[in-house]
């Protein structure tokens, strides 16, 4: 199918709308717009260059998806037909890429496809959890509730991820400053020290000579450094895309000092919150485990969940299946066991998720408070070490000349 950009007048509101539509031909696009209540003014086929630019610049944020999901839930809950709800959300959406996708979903639904099938065409936008909840909502007739659960899930997940990123941002900024100070000293101060020693016909101390040689190399062969760094970063990024690279990063996340405990709580909270949402929407236990293993977004934890799923498939209780897994924190199987005994697994999973989210919130605050003075000391030591390495030999040189 071809993609067309169009300008059309809404017959209901008399407003001019500009967007894109997919159709086999320009005439088919015009018929499609008229069926949706628009009067076409201008229709133009979008060329490949425009499509590439749109793909590069267009980005659908988590906030965009949350707003879209919550609006659709509200409209369906108010009793509006699905296609009318989609059209209303389309009019209220500002993100052009998401707007185009909503229109294509609307066309698909009007063509007889289910909402689940229509969303499934965009796996990069709508993840397995989203699709599973939409499918369960359609089957049970509670689509509005399922969409509301999705929005709540996305909001909580985004809030927790934001806290983790916030805690890691400050250390990265300080490290950047440290490297900046080192570069400044090497490229500006060190060459002056070398010139001073040459003028006095004195031999450079070992540490100062190493710094001078490093500075000279960087100034003479900076282009080699940039090329090597670029090639190194490229191949490292390519390696991270492989299974072994992803496993290395995922393993590092849960084992790295200080932040490892935070990531494990993040994954446990995500596991329990997603599990609660899926089970509460009527998704089966095995499907819930399969979808949740992907939603956790860590290959090490994913394998633990999938091993537990195999045991559950063989007739074992979920709490017993998760108990021996090394990377599953003890509270998870304990709370699930209580849920199994009371018949309220989803409720217990929700409470466990809240516990981990609260603990993570507190831990982020604690680390953020404690890490600031530590990093400032590190910065002072690095800068002081550089200054000492440069100034102490100069003082020694001056004293020797005075004598």
Using H for helix, E for strand and C for coil, what is the string for 211-277?
Answer: HHHHHHHHHHCHHHHHHHHHHHHHHHHHHHCCHHHHHHHHHHHHHCCCHHHHHHHHHHHHHHHHHHH
325: left (phi over 0), alpha (psi -120 to 50) or beta: beta
> What is the helix (H) or strand (E) element at residue 159, kind and residue range?
helix 143-184
pLDDT at 316: 92
> How big, in percent rounded to 5, are the helix, strand and coil portions of the chain?
75, 5, 15
pLDDT at 281: 79
Give me the torsion for CA of 122, 126, 131, 134, rounded to 10°.
Answer: -110
Local confidence pLDDT in tens for the 403 residues of the chain:
566 777 787 777 777 777 777 676 777 777 777 877 778 777 777 654 444 444 444 678 888 888 899 899 899 988 888 888 998 898 888 888 888 899 889 888 888 888 989 998 888 888 888 888 888 888 778 888 888 888 887 887 787 777 777 777 777 887 888 788 778 877 787 777 777 777 777 777 777 777 778 878 888 888 998 999 999 999 999 998 888 888 999 999 888 887 888 889 989 988 998 888 888 878 889 988 988 888 888 899 999 999 999 999 999 999 999 999 988 999 999 999 999 999 889 999 999 998 998 888 888 778 777 777 877 787 788 777 777 767 766 776 666 665 4
| Alpha carbon separation from 7 to 27, 94, 380 (Å, rounded) | 14, 16, 60
pLDDT at 386: 73
pLDDT at 208: 74
DSSP assignment, residue 126? S
pLDDT at 54: 44
Q: Is 327 helix (H, G, I), strand (E, B) or coil?
A: coil
């Amino acid at each position: 199918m071809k993609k067309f950009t169009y300008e059309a007048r809404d017959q209901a509101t008399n407003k001019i709308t500009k967007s894109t539509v997919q159709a086999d031909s320009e005439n088919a696009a015009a018929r499609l717009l008229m069926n949706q209540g628009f009067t076409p003014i201008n229709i133009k086929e979008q060329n490949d260059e425009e499509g590439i630019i749109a793909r590069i610049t267009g980005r659908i944020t988590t906030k965009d998806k949350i707003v879209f999901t919550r609006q659709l839930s509200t409209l369906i809950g108010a009793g509006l037909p699905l296609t009318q709800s989609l059209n209303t959300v389309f009019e209220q959406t500002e993100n052009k890429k998401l707007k185009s996708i909503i229109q294509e979903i609307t066309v698909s639904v009007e063509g007889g496809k289910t909402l689940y099938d229509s969303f499934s065409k965009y796996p990069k936008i709508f993840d397995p959890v989203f699709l599973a909840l939409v499918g369960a909502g359609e089957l049970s007739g509670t689509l509005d509730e399922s969409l509301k659960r999705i929005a709540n899930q996305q909001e909580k997940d985004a809030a927790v991820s934001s806290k983790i990123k916030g805690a890691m941002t400050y250390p990265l900024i300080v490290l950047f400053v440290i490297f900046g100070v080192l570069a400044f000293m090497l490229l500006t101060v060190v060459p002056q020290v070398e010139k001073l020693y040459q003028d006095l016909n004195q031999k450079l101390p070992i540490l100062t000579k190493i710094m001078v040689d490093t500075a000279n190399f960087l100034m003479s062969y900076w282009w080699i450094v940039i090329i090597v760094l670029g090639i190194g970063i490229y191949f490292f990024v390519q390696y991270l895309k492989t299974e072994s690279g992803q496993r290395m990063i995922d393993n590092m996340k849960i084992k790295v000092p200080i932040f490892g405990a935070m990531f494990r709580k993040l994954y446990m909270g995500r596991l329990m919150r997603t599990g609660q949402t899926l089970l509460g929407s009527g998704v089966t236990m095995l499907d819930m485990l399969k979808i949740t293993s992907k939603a956790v977004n860590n290959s090490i934890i994913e394998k633990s969940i999938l091993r537990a799923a195999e045991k559950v498939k063989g007739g074992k209780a979920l709490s017993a299946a998760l108990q021996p897994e090394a990377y599953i924190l003890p509270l998870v199987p304990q709370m699930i066991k209580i849920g199994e005994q009371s018949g309220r697994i989803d409720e217990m999973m929700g409470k466990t998720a809240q516990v981990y989210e609260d603990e993570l919130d507190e831990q982020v605050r604690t680390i953020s408070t404690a890490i600031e003075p530590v990093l400032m000391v590190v910065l002072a030591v690095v800068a002081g070490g550089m200054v000492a390495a440069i100034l102490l030999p100069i003082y020694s040189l001056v004293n020797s000349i005075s004598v």
